Chain A
């Protein structure tokens, strides 16, 4: 009887907001009290919504689109944080331990967090959303290692809705229908925006349809929307550019008369600036075309705090800098994107 009760307290899906040890302690106390009183009811009913911890702002947005009203959503990494180099703190471990569901991006995006997530997965369900993308449509970053930045292809990102909806439905079974509907709606939104982005990028002159960025986060974007992508640093932000790579990029810019290169909100921009300087010395002025959201969304209220808004802001910045045919773009200029480009 005593043992059974203890197990029930532990496995209850509605964990309180306590640390591991306090939970064990509370469990022990509860067991003791139950034994003393001589009977015990079920685990306490959930008075607050369950907590879902997302690793990046991008997966947090995914969860929010599906279940904003039903669960408490936390994002481990804030806006402007680079997930490749993010180091988990003990507080993160604590937040993950308190979570009722963990949603991660996966595909090696959370480099230094992966081990912690692995450990957490023994006790808490962990969803790796981006791993729902079929292997055949993944790009490779290096031999056998997938490129994790799948969210830049909105149609591909739509594949991540299903496993997230499923995990959320397991967590709050009574809202399953609601989640399924929100998921379907979000899917439609993504696909709609996918088409819009496609036509927006297609308006750029083909010769200049080159996206030069600090690190190779935009390869999915390039493939989906038909723009050549050249990263200075490679897929991860952890590597250093060599001089030959820098020179090659400068030559590319000068040859194709690319008018602008881009910096990312979560990556230092020294290499990009060096390239601009090199091209300028060769008589071709390159502008830094503004900041792109890559591995993190904007802050709340920045007008780019959802994936769709961030991508629209990116597209706006790209089209403005690379000289898309003006008229077509003006129609699509959203207030959010305007604000995002003003803050640069």
Chain B
């Protein structure tokens, strides 16, 4: 606590602002990095599926233990998220269901099961069961030091894993057929990537909420993809964009009263995304428009003399 106070004091921030800044910076960065492979693998909605799939786990964990404690709920959330994403990967492998349809099914079914379980608990009058689904909303401004510490640890581990297995993940993302032929355990790598996203999302949930975490997993990688064709650069950029969005969002919410922190982070991320969409050198809309004009004007100029 004294360390916290000192650090906050040096930066001239209030202790709460400091904790939220550190926690969100870690989540933003790691979510951006981990999300790159979801986006490259065309699985942008996996994070969303994971977030919604936490609800049955939350309900069951509460029903078994009767506790609303964060560790208990998080454990339930993580188990059910990983389980449903296992279902997602299996659906894709053993049936002819397409990726997008399978994702939609997992989102819908798990959310439905979660809401049904919770309303069942509420209808039985189990005390404390009301508003369990608010677990999905999160509340960024209310991060505690313990939450933030956990976020930082999990984020660092997740980024380290991605750094260590970049080669494998890249190969599976771009050419799963070749990877399989070369003897790589494609399905396991696939599942590990999905599970990593799931863990990131689950850990970020109470801090950020389902929609925000999903946005943090998707938006920074897509923005980063605009600027580069290299996976390594994209990973770094996505992390930086996520970090920048978190810092900007937290700063805005700390300055202007009445603005919830989570949504401000998402808005900051979408601002970065918009700029990338317009201004990126090769893939930006502006660059494309300029290129589109050039071939047209050149033959005309030549025809004149």
A residues with a Cβ closer than 8 A to B are: 77-82, 85-87, 89, 91-92, 237, 239-248, 250-251, 265-268, 270-271, 273-275, 277-278, 280-283, 296, 299
Contacts and interface: CB of A to CB of B under 8 A. Distances in A.
B128 interface: yes
Please indicate which of the listed interface residues A89, A244, A265 has the most CB atoms of chain B within 10 Å of its own CB: A244
A274 B144 CA distance: 5
A208 to B, nearest CB: 22
A290 to B, nearest CB: 16
Contacts of A79: 125, 127
A243 B127 contact: no
B145 interface: yes
Contact of B119 (A87, A265, A273): A87
A12 to B, nearest CB: 29
Contacts of A282: 5, 14-15
Given A270-B142, A277-B144, A85 B134 contact: yes
A91 B139 contact: no
Contacts of B257: 242, 244-245, 248
Contact of A80 (B14, B127, B143, B253): B127
A268 B130 CA distance: 9
14 contacts: A78-B125, A81-B129, A91-B123, A241-B142, A242-B141, A242-B258, A243-B253, A244-B253, A274-B141, A274-B142, A281-B4, A281-B5, A282-B14, A283-B5
B83 interface: no
B48 to A, nearest CB: 19
A247 B14 contact: yes
B123 A92 contact: yes
B170 interface: no
Contact of A82 (B115, B130, B256, B259): B130
B16 A278 contact: yes
Contacts of A273: 142, 144
Interface of B: 1, 4-5, 8, 14-17, 19-20, 68, 115, 119, 122-131, 133-134, 137-145, 206, 250, 253-262, 264
B interface: dominant SS: helix
Given A77-B122, A243-B20, A278-B19, 4 more contacts: A79-B125, A85-B130, A242-B253, A267-B131
Contacts of B15: 250, 277-278, 281-282
A245 to B, nearest CB: 6
B260 A239 contact: yes
B68 A243 contact: no
A270 B139 contact: yes
A216 B129 CA distance: 21
A242 B17 CA distance: 10
A80 B128 contact: yes
Contacts of B123: 89, 91-92
A246 B134 contact: no
A15 to B, nearest CB: 22
